[in-house]
Amino acid sequence: MLGSRRRGGATPNLSQRREGRERYGAAVSDPNALDELAARAAAGDPAALDELLAEIQPRVRRICGRMLLYPEDAEEAAQDALLLVATKIGGFEGRSRFTTWLHAVASNSARATYRSLKRRSAERPTDELPLHVDPRTTSVIAGSRLDLLEALEIVGAERPELVEPLVLRDVQELDYNEIAALLDVPLGTVKSRIHAARQAVRPLLRIEG
């Protein structure tokens, strides 16, 4: 799985999950409740942060799993994303829904994990590499996640502004308006970037018979 290795990072502290539920109520998986919980966490409430991290773990794993082919790699990305939420929550300003912000954080974490796995694979001796190590030459099906991630890296090297809107729309299936609010750009700009990204990515996805 691209030479994936656990980095030994611990899951953020969730010991106060039950206490957080009692304090903030039950239905925190609801987007409105998550927005409120995130606002409390961003304001420096540690109990709210613990509860938030506990509640979003399944969602973060699903987001990363949509982008990374192997479960171990998706789990590594998910743990990194949770750590980012824990350390960067103060930067959540409520300009978009918390779930929208979370999709961006987790998607970027998955892409960062992919780059790290490629780098680690390139650094290992050839005789130690698994058969499916190189996403540039290996594809399970046409247009697989490995092909898409590699295509995004190629497009992002020249047009980085195109990548995140495409991922949020076509992989994470966010609404155009959500993406515009998250990226703080006009709706028309979001749509044009997504269109341009699709045009750039399509010829890079291999077609296999």
The count of other CB atoms within 10 Å of the CB of residue 54 is 21
- pLDDT of residue 20 exceeding 60: no
Residue whose pair of structure tokens reads 């495409």 in the numeric block: 166
Co-location of 68 and 143 in the same domain: no
| pLDDT interval class at 79 (50, 70, 90) | very high
Co-location of 58 and 118 in the same domain: yes
Co-location of 95 and 163 in the same domain: no
Co-location of 117 and 153 in the same domain: no
Co-location of 98 and 169 in the same domain: no
- Please identify, among 94, 124, 154, the residue that sits at the C-terminal boundary of a domain: 124
This prediction has a pTM of 0.68
pLDDT tens digits, 99-125: 999 999 999 999 999 888 888 776 655
The count of other CB atoms within 10 Å of the CB of residue 120 is 14
Quick one: tokens of 132? 């499916």
Co-location of 74 and 144 in the same domain: no
pLDDT of residue 188: 96
Quick one: tokens of 178? 């959500």
Pick the closest to residue 162 from 207, 111, 112, 200 (CA basis): 200
Co-location of 108 and 163 in the same domain: no
Within a domain: 20: yes
CATH number at residue 17: 1.10.1740.10
pLDDT of residue 125: 56
Q: How many domains does the chain have?
A: 2
- Please identify, among 124, 157, 192, the residue that sits at the C-terminal boundary of a domain: 124
- pLDDT of residue 178 exceeding 80: yes
d(CA 139, CA 74) in angstroms, rounded, equals 17
Contact 84, 105 (CB under 8 A): yes
**For residue 102, what are the domain limits?**
1-124
